[in-house]
A and B are shown apart, each in its own frame.
Chain A
Amino acid sequence: MPHPVEALRDYAFGELSADRQPELEQHLGVCGECALELDRLRLTTAALRTLPDRELPQRIAFVSDKVFEPSAVSRFFGGFWNSAARLGFASACVLGAALIVSAYHRPVEVRTVVQRGNAQTGNAQTANADVSKEINDAVTRAVAQVRVEDAREIEAVGHKYEQEYQERMATVAENFALLQKRVGTSLIASYDLRGNGDGQ
């Protein structure tokens, strides 16, 4: 019969299951070698235990010191993080919130972005067209206004020069008429003088 070495060692340390102990004890009763091995194991452990425990050189510092005591906040968070149930519940809440946000807000956000992008592109184009139109209208209006003002100024200047011309021509005519009168008067006077001298 083979020697139950491991069972013997387990038995020596009181670790052999109760249902296997009777079988081993029966074997020990008939196997001198195993019985001797058991004695050696017990002797060895007894020899090891001759080294006694030593007393502490000083007591371990108790944790009554406030330095060691966690704050109320630390205890709260410590209790929270160390509680699997609470931590699991919190994780589930966070996960659920993330799923809800992802399911309802994120696609809309994508569509919104696209729509916004399209809308922004259309709006930009419309705005550019409006601005261009407004600029063109303003330029046209400004040009027309300038032309009207120029025409008015030209007309006014022409009218002014025409008036001055008419005035000057009138003056010339008056001067000419006056000159004619003076010439006529002079001619008449010279005839009178010539006639009076011959008649004497």
Chain B
Amino acid sequence: MIFRAVEDADLISRVRRGDVEAFNLLVSRWEKRVFNYLLRLTGRPEDAMDLSQEAFLKAYQNIRKLDDPARFGPWLYRIAHNEAHSLFRKRRPETALEDAPAERNPAPGFSIDLSLAVTAALDRLTPEQREAVVLKVYEGFKFDEMAEVLGCPVSTVKSRLYTALDLLKADLAPVSTRGN
């Protein structure tokens, strides 16, 4: 992970010197993760695709504002987060993420019951709880990185995550036990 961060920092330095191809390498490295993060927020592949495109474009345009190149990941996700919430505010300011349809295909190799249960359990969370789970469980961010992405204190991040896990645990632990 440290080696990866150094590589990202090197690419960012090259981008800042005008090397566009270096940014293309960054896109290749991060596009799938950013797309899936946005897909889990929005539930719509087309929205996730458009938002990913916008997020990378803004990242490129503002790459000089990144203070610490080693923090490129949280910085990029922060941009993606803002893009997603900007879209939600435009579409439905009062409901934001809550009505996002869940388009999550069951994973091959796992039981349909488990995949459907995971999907349903995630959809029962609040948008904030769901995003905390996505950033921690699926994207593997540390708490301080999550706080940077979400723009809130670490204590808030942990509160959202652990409340969500209590709910998910009640829903999923019995199912996963059966599935296994």
Residues of A within 8 A of B (CB): 6, 9-10, 13, 15, 40-41, 43-64, 68-70, 75, 78-79, 82-83
Contacts and interface: CB of A to CB of B under 8 A. Distances in A.
Select the residue from A46, A54, A58, A68 with max chain B CB neighbours within 10 A. Answer: A54
A40 B49 contact: no
A44 B165 contact: yes
Given A51-B138, A52-B108, A68-B57, 15 more contacts: A9-B158, A43-B177, A44-B176, A48-B138, A48-B168, A50-B118, A52-B107, A53-B138, A60-B52, A60-B56, A63-B23, A64-B20, A64-B21, A68-B60, A82-B64
Interface string B15-47: 000101101100100011101100100000110
Q: Is the interface of A mostly helix, strand, loop or mixed?
A: loop
Contact of A47 (B20, B60, B138, B176): B176
A158 B110 CA distance: 145
Interface of B: 18, 20-21, 23-24, 27, 31-33, 35-36, 39, 45-46, 49, 52-53, 56-57, 60-61, 64-65, 104-105, 107-108, 110, 114-115, 117-119, 122, 133, 136-138, 142-143, 158, 162, 165, 168-169, 172-173, 175-177, 179
A48 B24 contact: no
Nearest to A63: B60
Nearest to A75: B18
19 contacts: A6-B158, A13-B136, A44-B168, A44-B176, A45-B165, A47-B173, A47-B176, A47-B179, A48-B122, A50-B115, A54-B39, A61-B53, A62-B23, A63-B24, A63-B27, A64-B20, A64-B24, A68-B60, A75-B18
A51 B56 contact: no
A115 B45 CA distance: 75
Contacts of A61: 53
B129 to A, nearest CB: 12
Contacts of A13: 136
A15 B39 contact: no
A105 B138 CA distance: 64
Contacts of B64: 78-79, 82-83
A59 B143 CA distance: 30
Contacts of A79: 64
B137 A62 contact: no
